[in-house]
A and B are shown apart, each in its own frame.
Chain A
Amino acid sequence: MPNLKDLKNRIASVQSTRKITSAMKMVAASKLRRAQEQAEAGRPYAERMGRMLASLAANVQDSGNGPKLMTGTGSDQVHLLVIISSDRGLCGAFNGAIVRESRRQILRLQSEGKTVKLLTVGRKARDQLRREFGSLIVETYEDVGRRRLSFADADVVAQKVLAMYDAGEFDVCSVIFNKFKSAISQIVTVQQLVPFAVEAQADEEAAGAEVKAIYEFEPDEEQILAELLPRNLSIQVYRALLESAASEQGARMTAMDNATRNAGDMINKLTITYNRTRQAYITKELIEIISGAEAV
């Protein structure tokens, strides 16, 4: 028969766990709101930059000598993957999903005979990929945007990518991150950064009269593009980081919500066991007393 004291301790410990997880859930919820607001605030810049790029690219593509960041190096032998994860755990399948997708991509590229290099953001991806692909990791970043994700944080990563590209260390660069869909659903997304593909949205926006307008350029298209593309890369990295930050908090919120509920179930079960056991003890003692009295 289980010991009453042990059961009591067990219940107390699960209760305090529940307190912790429900506090974490609330913290994650408020962080999530902030992350979402930030992602929202960053949207206008990205939109306008996309619009400018679309009209510029349309002009330059005709001339056929765009900058290297857009046209690529002409080969696709060396791939650089920027993997964005979190620094902390306890956020459900968030990091697991990223690592699984990364591993899949790496193996696929390697089986095609390509060289793969990795740039990891966040402690978790590094820890989990280090054992298998340690030699591929070029650089890792930790504590990115611990307090509040700023554009400068993203710029650090983007500058590294650019420096590597200029040095000819890779041909194609993609970023792997969790795209925020809702608090309970995050989608692992692979997005190509270099060479930069002017997306399909350019087409639908071209329908708008504004894009059709003939722009004057000052200085010329190529020079503007040469400045705009690196900036765009930083923006893409920044957006990926924002999405990932929001996803992380969403995933954590869900995970902690589940944990809180599980703890509640466990407490109920333990309480029932505790009460039954107590009852059994009482009954047993009563029987002993009664049978003792009868014997006299």
Chain B
Amino acid sequence: MADKVEFELVSPEKLLTSQPVDMVVVPGSEGDFGVLAGHSPMISTVRPGVIDVYEADRVVDRVFVAGGFAEVTETRCTVLAEEAIAVAEIDRAKVEQQIRDLGEDLEDAKSDDEKARVEAKIAIARAKLDATGATTH
């Protein structure tokens, strides 16, 4: 691999990572896409899922993001994440509990708006759970 791509992960509260890597795979809302150096510029929305960071054909880092935006230029890949947590740090039991709690909220939800909001939260929690299932590489 010749060139590296500058991978930046930013949350509203701080800059989480900024490092040159070989490749990142971002869960775009219309499908995952891999970014190598020299990728054509693009902007995409990101669905809840896992960002894989590759270093010499091996996954070195897995980060869960709860949606956001990605901006790709030839030399850089910036992900603006709403919430980001390293996959290794996700507590399965906690997320399961959260899903159960949200399920109850969904039953209590009165308006459609409220329902949609809770459903979105459940989808994020589910994706988080899926992420932990696939950690063993």
In this complex, the member of B30, B41, B82 whose beta carbon has the largest number of chain A beta carbons within 10 angstroms is: B41
CA of A218 to CA of B40, assembled, Å: 13
Stretch at the interface among B10-18, B51-59, B96-104, B128-136: B10-18
- Say whether A238 faces chain B, with CB atoms less than 8 Å apart: yes
- Say whether A213 faces chain B, with CB atoms less than 8 Å apart: yes
Residue of B nearest to A225 (CB): B43
List B contacts of A231 (CB < 8 A): 69, 82
Residue of B nearest to A149 (CB): B13
List B contacts of A49 (CB < 8 A): 69, 80
- Say whether A150 faces chain B, with CB atoms less than 8 Å apart: yes
Question: Is the beta-carbon distance between B80 and A48 smaller than 8 angstroms?
Answer: yes
A52 to chain B, nearest CB (A): 5
Stretch at the interface among A26-34, A37-45, A91-99: A37-45
CA of A228 to CA of B80, assembled, Å: 10
B58 to chain A, nearest CB (A): 27
Question: Is the beta-carbon distance between B12 and A218 smaller than 8 angstroms?
Answer: no
A21 to chain B, nearest CB (A): 32
CA of A274 to CA of B43, assembled, Å: 75
- Say whether B71 faces chain A, with CB atoms less than 8 Å apart: yes
Within the complex, which residue of B28, B43, B80 is in contact with A215, where a contact is CB–CB below 8 Å? B43
Residue of B nearest to A210 (CB): B73
- Say whether A214 faces chain B, with CB atoms less than 8 Å apart: yes
CA of A225 to CA of B52, assembled, Å: 26
CA of A48 to CA of B14, assembled, Å: 12
B115 to chain A, nearest CB (A): 15
Question: Is the beta-carbon distance between B69 and A52 smaller than 8 angstroms?
Answer: yes
- Say whether A280 faces chain B, with CB atoms less than 8 Å apart: no
B69 to chain A, nearest CB (A): 6
Within the complex, which residue of A45, A55, A56, A217 is in contact with B11, where a contact is CB–CB below 8 Å? A45
Also in contact, A55 and B29, with CB within 8 A (given A41-B13, A41-B15, A48-B78): no
Convert B42-76 into 0s and 1s, putting 1 for each residue whose CB lies closer than 8 angstroms to a CB of A.
11110000000000000000000000010101100
Chain B count of residues within 8 A CB distance of the other chain:
23
CA of A56 to CA of B15, assembled, Å: 22
List A contacts of B11 (CB < 8 A): 45, 151
CA of A217 to CA of B69, assembled, Å: 11
For chain B, residues 69 to 94, give those with C-beta under 8 angstroms from any C-beta of chain A. 69, 71, 73-74, 78, 80, 82
Question: Is the beta-carbon distance between A217 and B43 smaller than 8 angstroms?
Answer: yes
CA of A217 to CA of B30, assembled, Å: 11
CA of A38 to CA of B13, assembled, Å: 7
- Say whether A132 faces chain B, with CB atoms less than 8 Å apart: no
Partner-B contacts on A (CB < 8 A): 38, 41-42, 44-45, 48-49, 51-52, 55-56, 150-151, 154, 210, 213-219, 223-224, 227-228, 231, 234-235, 238
Q: 18 additional contacts, CB 8 Å, given A52-B69, A214-B41, A217-B44? A: A41-B14, A42-B14, A44-B8, A44-B14, A45-B80, A48-B10, A52-B80, A55-B43, A151-B12, A154-B12, A213-B73, A217-B42, A217-B43, A218-B30, A218-B43, A219-B45, A224-B44, A224-B69
Query: Could you give 19 example pairs across A and B, Cβ below 8 Å?
Result: A42-B14, A44-B15, A45-B14, A45-B15, A45-B80, A48-B8, A48-B78, A49-B80, A52-B71, A213-B74, A214-B41, A216-B42, A216-B43, A224-B43, A227-B69, A231-B69, A231-B82, A234-B12, A235-B12
